[in-house]
């Protein structure tokens, strides 16, 4: 580097050092060499320096905005997920549907004589098999419909009958049966579907979520018959789901708008089951839906009342344009409740639990706390307890219930539902549990296929049916029982039954 002194060019060195309080800048100075000490090299021209400073401040400001936006999404998700919808029916109903709840009540689980009761899952599946004329698409997790798949037991008879009916219908050739299932494993080898395919009764495809998303499963449970009738609910293709496990779902008949919309989700599974498939960044338009909270489909149910409806799905990469993500649907329903939120699920964890490193996943937990504290919404949660339950779940449930004592009007109640088992029933693996996955509020019914921990919404495929009330129903002008009211009656029956037990709250306050 050179500094010009008069007519001489003097060679200098640029040195960057931290100076003590006293320092002689003439030290180490040679005859033809001058040491120039800089605290920091600045641009030669002041205007450039100011420009650099301005750009630096602009960059810092931009980063702060981006971080704040990200933080808002994490901590104030209700601001972006609360999707208000108009309860007024602006036009006539789209479809004239027959809809009803369906249940599996395990043998020896007896409610009082006048308790609500509904069609069995077995009868619903049998009906769909009998009325199918051209197509039957089934989205499923795993298949163990026969006793030989699990353990030989007389109560497997209903599952074996469903399997044989599938075989018979498929071999007749009039009805094309397609089954999308999660990739078989050593634990769930899916011999049933293998046999159906070998006999030519059905076309089977398996989704490899490990390859597609790095983890997760196809946890969906639905049937679509002739693209106009559907079953959607908690029941797996398992004989235990008909006689040994408590399940809940919905049967919709002559409901083509709903069935065709569900078919779009099935077609996603179907195309992703190819070995060379990849999840598209943007799903093609044939997978898009027009139905969401801003524009729900309108159904006339049982020739009695009009009902809003929409389908939600998970995980986000499988949620095509227009479709509501499943977790957003759940949070939206909670945020739109005016009086109460009743939840019945097998598992509840505010965690990502199926990865090596468990992580906190607060969204539903925070939504319930916000509803209870800020809006004084009454919350009841009916969570299953069985021999495979993890005791650590109680800590998270207690943390919610303990809020009830924080201030007047805050009301969160939690119970465990226990399906009793005698000595023989106890020998049946993965039986005797309440497997329900639904929520009912004062204005909306939700029936899903997912347990409530983070994994089921981030990398596992599931579907939910959301049924918001119309103004007509909200005002209950015709005093007609609705699906939402039926679902509420199921919850209240179970909540008040002898099969529940209070969640024990330990004293966590230090002395």
The share of the chain scoring above pLDDT 90, in percent, equals: 77
Sequence ranges of the domains in the chain: 2-38, 78-502
Q: Which residues pair with 501 in a beta bridge?
A: 416
pLDDT value of position 91: 58
pLDDT value of position 408: 94
User: What average pLDDT does this structure show over 302-307?
Assistant: 94
C-alpha 171/C-alpha 42 separation (Å) is: 83
Q: CB atoms < 10 A from the CB of 435, how many?
A: 27
Of the pLDDT bands very low, low, confident and very high (cuts 50, 70, 90), residue 90 is: low
Of the pLDDT bands very low, low, confident and very high (cuts 50, 70, 90), residue 34 is: very low
Whether the predicted pLDDT of 20 surpasses 70:
no
pLDDT value of position 75: 36
Which parts of 82-130 are beta strand (E)? Answer: 95-104, 119-120
CATH superfamily of the 78-502 domain: Endonuclease Chain A (3.30.870.10)
User: What average pLDDT does this structure show over 13-36?
Assistant: 43
Whether the predicted pLDDT of 38 surpasses 50:
no
> Which of the following is catalytic: 95, 221, 380, 494?
221
Give the orientation angle of helix 326-336 with respect to helix 363-374, to 10 degrees: 10
pTM of the model: 0.84
Task: Report the range of poorest mean pLDDT among 43-57, 226-240, 427-441.
Answer: 43-57
DSSP symbol at 50: H
User: What average pLDDT does this structure show over 77-96?
Assistant: 56
- Name the more confident of 455 and 30: 455
User: What average pLDDT does this structure show over 224-236?
Assistant: 99
> Which of the following is catalytic: 365, 435, 455, 494?
435
pLDDT value of position 66: 54
Q: Which residues pair with 120 in a beta bridge?
A: 103
- Tell me whether residue 221 is one of the annotated catalytic residues: yes
> Which of the following is catalytic: 208, 226, 411, 442?
226
- Tell me whether residue 219 is one of the annotated catalytic residues: yes
pLDDT (tens digit, 9 = 90+) per residue, 326-364? 999 999 999 999 999 999 999 999 999 999 899 999 999
C-alpha 487/C-alpha 489 separation (Å) is: 5
- Name the more confident of 79 and 166: 166
Provide the pairing of β-strand 412-417 with 437-441: unpaired
Mean pLDDT of the chain: 88
Whether the predicted pLDDT of 410 surpasses 50:
yes
- What is the SS3 assignment for 300? strand
- Name the more confident of 424 and 65: 424
pLDDT value of position 35: 45
> Which of the following is catalytic: 192, 219, 238, 415?
219
Query: Which position has the token pair 């075989």?
Result: 167
CA distances from 508 to 368, 393, 413, 504, 511 (A): 21, 16, 17, 12, 9
Q: What string of H, E and C letters represents the secondary structure of 399-455? A: HHHHHHHCCCCCCEEEEEECCCCCHHHHCCCCCCCECCEEEEECCEEEEECCCECCH
What DSSP string runs through 158-223? Answer: HHHHHHHHHHHHHHHSSSEEEEEEEPP-SS---HHHHHHHHTTS-EEEEE-HHHHHSS--B---EE
pLDDT (tens digit, 9 = 90+) per residue, 181-219? 999 999 889 999 999 999 999 999 999 999 999 999 999
Task: Report the range of poorest mean pLDDT among 162-166, 407-411, 506-510.
Answer: 506-510
User: What average pLDDT does this structure show over 90-116?
Assistant: 91
Whether the predicted pLDDT of 4 surpasses 70:
no
Query: Which ranges in 305-362 belong to alpha helices (H)?
Result: 326-336
CA distances from 17 to 35, 42, 429, 459 (A): 12, 15, 73, 53
Of the pLDDT bands very low, low, confident and very high (cuts 50, 70, 90), residue 100 is: very high
pLDDT value of position 55: 78
pLDDT (tens digit, 9 = 90+) per residue, 464-480? 999 999 988 888 756 78
User: What average pLDDT does this structure show over 253-258?
Assistant: 98
Whether the predicted pLDDT of 231 surpasses 70:
yes
- Tell me whether residue 23 is one of the annotated catalytic residues: no
pLDDT value of position 18: 43
- Tell me whether residue 226 is one of the annotated catalytic residues: yes
């Amino acid at each position: 580097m050179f500094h010009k002194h008069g007519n001489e060019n003097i060679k200098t060195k640029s040195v960057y050092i931290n100076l003590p309080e006293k320092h002689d800048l003439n030290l180490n100075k040679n005859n033809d060499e001058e040491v120039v000490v800089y605290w920091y090299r600045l641009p030669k021209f002041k205007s450039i320096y100011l420009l650099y400073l301005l750009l630096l401040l602009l960059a810092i400001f931009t980063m702060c905005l981006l971080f704040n936006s990200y933080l808002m999404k994490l901590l104030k998700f209700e601001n972006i997920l609360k999707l208000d919808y108009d309860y007024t029916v602006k036009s006539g109903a789209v479809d004239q549907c027959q809809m009803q709840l369906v249940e599996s009540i395990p043998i020896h689980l007896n409610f009082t004589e006048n308790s609500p009761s509904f069609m069995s899952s077995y009868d619903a599946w049998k009906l769909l098999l009998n009325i199918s004329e051209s197509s039957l698409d089934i989205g499923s997790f795993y298949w163990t419909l026969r006793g030989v798949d699990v353990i030989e037991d007389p109560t497997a008879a209903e599952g074996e009958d469903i399997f044989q009916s599938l075989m018979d219908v498929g071999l007749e050739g009039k009805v094309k049966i397609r089954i999308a299932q999660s990739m078989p494993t050593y634990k769930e080898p899916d011999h049933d579907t293998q046999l159906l395919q070998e006999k030519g009764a059905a076309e089977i495809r398996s989704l490899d979520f490990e390859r597609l998303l790095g983890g997760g499963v196809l946890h969906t449970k639905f049937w679509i018959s002739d693209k106009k009738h559907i079953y959607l609910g908690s029941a797996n293709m398992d004989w235990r789901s008909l006689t040994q496990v408590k399940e809940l779902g919905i049967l919709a008949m002559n409901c083509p708008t709903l069935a065709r919309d569900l078919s779009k989700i099935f077609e996603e599974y179907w195309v992703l089951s190819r070995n060379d498939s990849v999840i598209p960044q943007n799903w093609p338009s044939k997978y898009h839906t027009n139905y969401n909270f801003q524009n729900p489909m309108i159904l006339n149910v049982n020739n009695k009342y009009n009902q809003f409806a929409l389908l939600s799905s998970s995980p986000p990469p499988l949620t095509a344009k227009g479709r509501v993500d499943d977790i957003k649907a759940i949070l939206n329903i909670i945020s739109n409740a005016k009086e109460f939120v009743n939840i019945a699920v097998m598992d509840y964890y505010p965690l990502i639990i199926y990865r090596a490193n468990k992580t906190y996943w607060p969204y539903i937990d925070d939504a319930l706390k916000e509803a209870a504290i800020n809006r004084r919404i009454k919350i009841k949660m009916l969570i299953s307890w069985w021999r495979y339950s993890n005791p650590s779940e109680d800590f998270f449930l207690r943390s919610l219930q303990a809020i009830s004592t924080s201030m007047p009007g805050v009301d969160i109640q939690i119970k465990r539902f226990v399906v009793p088992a005698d000595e023989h029933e106890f020998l049946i693996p993965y039986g005797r549990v309440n497997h329900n996955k639904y929520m009912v509020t004062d204005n909306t019914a939700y029936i899903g296929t997912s347990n409530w921990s983070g994994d089921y919404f981030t990398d596992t495929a599931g579907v939910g049916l959301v049924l918001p009330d119309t103004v007509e129903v909200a005002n209950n002008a015709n005093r007609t029982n609705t699906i939402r009211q039926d679902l509420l009656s199921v919850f209240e029956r179970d909540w008040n039954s002898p099969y529940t037990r209070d969640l024990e709250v330990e004293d966590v306050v230090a002395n």
